[in-house]
Amino acid sequence: MARAFTPKVVTANALVEGDVVYLTADDRWTRDHAEAEFLEDEAHAQLRLLKADHQRDRVVGAYLAEARMGVTGPEPIHFREVFRTRGPSNYPHGKQEAGNV
C-alpha cells in the first residue's frame, strides 16, 4: 500500500552562493524556510519540484522536504532540514555570523 503524502516544501541550493533556498508560492527563491510554499497536495508538490528542476541557471539539487505548519510558516521536521536552515556549518559565516540561527 502506498504511503500517505505528507506536507512538503521545495528546497535546493543557490547555484552561485551555495546557500540553502526554498521556493515560495510566488516563484521566488528565499533563504527563509518560513517563507516557503507549504505543499499539502502531492500532484501540486510534484509540479513545483518540476519548476525548480527547470531553473538550473539559479539552483541545484532541488527536492521535496517534509515540513509542518508552524506559527510563522512552514517548519522543518527532520534533523537534516533543521540543520540546513542554520546556514553554513563553518561558523562564523552566513546566517550564523548574522545571528539568525
Q: What is the pLDDT of residues 10-66, one digit of tens each?
A: 999 999 888 999 999 999 999 999 999 999 999 999 999 999 999 999 999 999 999
What is the mean pLDDT of the segment spanning 3-8?
A: 92
Phi-psi region of 18 (alpha: psi -120 to 50; beta: other; left: phi over 0): left
Supply the pLDDT for residue 11: 97
Q: Is the dihedral of CA 75, 77, 80, 83 positive or negative?
A: positive
Task: Indicate whether 96 pLDDT > 80.
Answer: no
Question: Which residues, in sequence order, are bridge partners of residue 29?
Answer: 23
DSSP symbol at 67: E
Supply the pLDDT for residue 27: 96
Task: Indicate whether 69 pLDDT > 80.
Answer: yes
Write down the pTM of the prediction. Answer: 0.84
Short-list 99, 96, 71, CA closest to 19:
96
Residue 87's pLDDT band, with cuts at 50, 70 and 90, is confident
Q: Which residue has the cell 508538490?
A: 45
